[in-house]
A and B are shown apart, each in its own frame.
Chain A
Amino acid sequence: MNYPWNWAVFLQPSPDGTGTYLGTLVSGLAWTVMVALSAWALALVLGIIVGVARTLPNRSIVRLATAWVDVFRNVPLLVQIFLWYFVVPELLPASMGTALKQIQPPWGAFLPATLGLALFTSARVAEQVRAGIQSLARGQQQAATALGMTLPQTYRFVLLPMALRIIMPPLTSEFLNAVKNSSVALTVGLVEVTAAARAIQEYSFQVFEAFTAATIIYVVLNLAVVLLMRRLEKRLAVPGLAWAAGAGH
C-alpha cells in the first residue's frame, strides 16, 4: 500500500476563494455549527410542544401530535430535505416558489436543510419529552391540580421542569445526532465539514488527510457538546434529587 501522504496540503491555496484548504475546513465547520444549532433550537421548541401535546387530556390533539411524530420519524432525513428543497417550492404558488428558488446559494441550501433537520429531530425530541412526562409519578400532576393550578400552570411549574431534567442524557444524544445529521445538508449543495473534506479530496487528491481532518473536527464537536450538556445538567440539577441529575452516580 503506497499512498503519498502530504499533511502540508492544508496550507496550500484552495480554488474556492477561502484562501487555503484550512480555510475551506474552517468555513465548513462554521456551516456545520450553524445548521446544527439552528436546527437543534427549532427542534427543541417544536419537540417540547409536540411532546407535551401527546400527554394532554384531549384525544384529537394527541392524535395530531402522534401523526407528527410518525410522519417525521418514518421518512429518511435525506428524503425530507429533498422534499423541502425540490418539492415544496414547486407546490407553492408560482411567485412564492420562484422567490424561494432565487435565494442566494448558501442560504438557498441552508434553509431547506435546516428546516428538514429540525422537523426530523423534533419528532425524536417529542418522543423523549413524552417519555419524560409519563415517567413522572401521577401524584405530581394530582398535587398540582389539588393546589388549584390550571393545566398550563401544571406543565409550566411542575411537569416540564422535572421531565426536562430527567431527559437530559437522551437529549444530549439527540443533540449529537443533530450535529452528525447536519452533514446531510451537503446533498443540496451546502459546503459543511463533510462536503469541505470532499472538496479538498477532489481538488488536491489528498483524500485521507482531508477525511482525517473532518473526523477530528467531528470528534471535537462531540466532546464539546457532551461537556456543555454535562455542565448544564450539573447546574440545573435539583439538590438532593440524585436521579434527576442523570449522570450523577
Chain B
Amino acid sequence: MDGLDFGVVARNLRYLLSEGLVFSLTLTALAAAGGAALGTVLALMRLSSQRWLSVAAAAYVNLIRAVPLLLVIFWFYFLVPYVGAWALGRNEPIKVGAFWSSVITFTMFEAAYFAEIVRAGIRSVPPGQTQAGYALGMRYRQVMALVVLPQALRNMLPVLLSQTIVLFQDTSLVYVLSITDFLGAATKIGQRDGRLVEMYVFAAIAYFLICYALSWQVRRLQSRVAIVR
C-alpha cells in the first residue's frame, strides 16, 4: 500500500461541500421544519380528547419509533410512488426523485420523534395556563397558539435542537439509496481515486466538528433560555 495522501481532500473540497454537504444540510433543514410541524400536529392529536385521534397518533408514533430508520427509508422509497399514484388517481406508480423521496422519509420519521418532544413540552406548561386562557374567553386554537405552545417551545427548544443534530447525523443513511449527500460524495471520490481511507477519515472529522460545535451552541442556549423558577 502506498502512503496516505490527504491532498485528495483539498483537491475535491469544492465538490464535497457544494454537492455533498449542501445536500445534507438542506435535507436536515427541510426534514426538521416539516418534522416539527407534523410532529406538533401529532402531539396535539395525541393530547386530544377525541379518542380516535389520540389512538391514531399514538399508533403512528409508536410504530415509527419501533423500527430502524433504514427500514423506514426503504419503506418510503417504495411506498411513496404507490401512494402518489393513488393520491393523483394514476394507474402506474409515479416517479419520485431521490431527493424528494428522502425529504418525505425523514420528515415522516422525525415527526414521530418530534411529536414525543412536543408532547412533553406541552405537558411541561402548568395546567393553570390553559385554564386561564379559557377563563379569558379564548378558544382551543387561541389557547394553544397564543398561550401553551409559545411556552412549551421555550421549554423544549434545547431538546428539539439536539434531536436536529441527531437528524443531521442520520441523514448519512441515505447512503443506502446511493444519494450524493456528504458521505455519499466522500464515498464517490474515495472509490474513484482509490482513497477511501483518506475520505472516510476526513468525513468523520468533518461530522465531528460540525456536530460538536452545534451541540456546544445548544448547551449555551440551554443555559440562556432556562426559565428561573
Q: Please report A residues at the B interface, Cβ cutoff 8 Å.
A: 1-3, 70-71, 73-80, 82-83, 86-87, 90-91, 94, 180-184, 186-187, 194, 197-198, 201, 207-208, 211, 214-215, 218-219, 222
Contacts and interface: CB of A to CB of B under 8 A. Distances in A.
Q: Quick one: which of A75, A87, A184 has the most chain B CB within 10 A?
A: A75
Given A94-B1, A194-B71, A78 B173 contact: yes
Given A87-B201, A184-B173, A194 B86 contact: no
B204 interface: yes
Interface string B197-218: 1001101100110011001000
Contacts of B170: 76
Given A187-B176, A211-B71, A211-B78, A75 B207 contact: yes
A86 B175 contact: no
Given A76-B169, A87-B197, A215 B71 contact: yes
A181 B173 CA distance: 11
Interface of B: 1, 63, 66-71, 74-75, 78-79, 82-83, 85-86, 91, 169-170, 172-173, 175-176, 183, 196-197, 200-201, 203-204, 207-208, 211-212, 215
A82 B196 CA distance: 10
A184 B170 CA distance: 11
24 contacts: A1-B82, A1-B85, A3-B82, A74-B169, A74-B212, A75-B169, A75-B204, A75-B208, A76-B183, A76-B207, A77-B169, A80-B204, A82-B200, A83-B201, A184-B68, A186-B176, A198-B74, A201-B74, A208-B78, A208-B79, A214-B71, A218-B68, A219-B67, A222-B66
A90 B70 CA distance: 28
A66 to B, nearest CB: 12
Contacts of A2: 91
B175 A83 contact: no
Interface of B is mostly: helix
B207 A180 contact: no
Contacts of A86: 196-197, 200
7 closest Cβ contacts across the A-B interface?
A183-B68, A74-B211, A76-B169, A180-B68, A1-B86, A76-B172, A183-B70
Contacts of A182: 68
Contact of B215 (A74, A194, A198): A74
Contacts of A77: 169
A73 B166 CA distance: 9
Interface of A is mostly: helix
Nearest to B73: A194
B210 to A, nearest CB: 8
A183 B71 contact: yes
A83 B71 contact: no
Contact of B74 (A73, A79, A187, A194): A194
B66 to A, nearest CB: 5
Nearest to B215: A74
Given A74-B208, A201-B78, A218-B66, 10 more contacts: A75-B169, A78-B175, A79-B204, A83-B201, A180-B69, A181-B68, A183-B70, A208-B78, A215-B71, A218-B71
Nearest to A2: B91
Contacts of A75: 169, 204, 207-208, 211
A215 B67 CA distance: 6
Contact of B183 (A1, A78, A181, A208): A78
B116 to A, nearest CB: 11
Contacts of B176: 186-187
A201 B172 CA distance: 23
A83 B68 contact: no
Given A74-B212, A82-B200, A208-B78, A186 B66 contact: no
A169 to B, nearest CB: 14
Nearest to A74: B211
Contacts of A211: 71, 74-75, 78
Nearest to A195: B70
B189 to A, nearest CB: 14
Nearest to A226: B66
A82 B204 CA distance: 9
Contact of A186 (B70, B82, B207): B70
Nearest to B78: A207
A197 B67 contact: no
Contacts of B203: 79
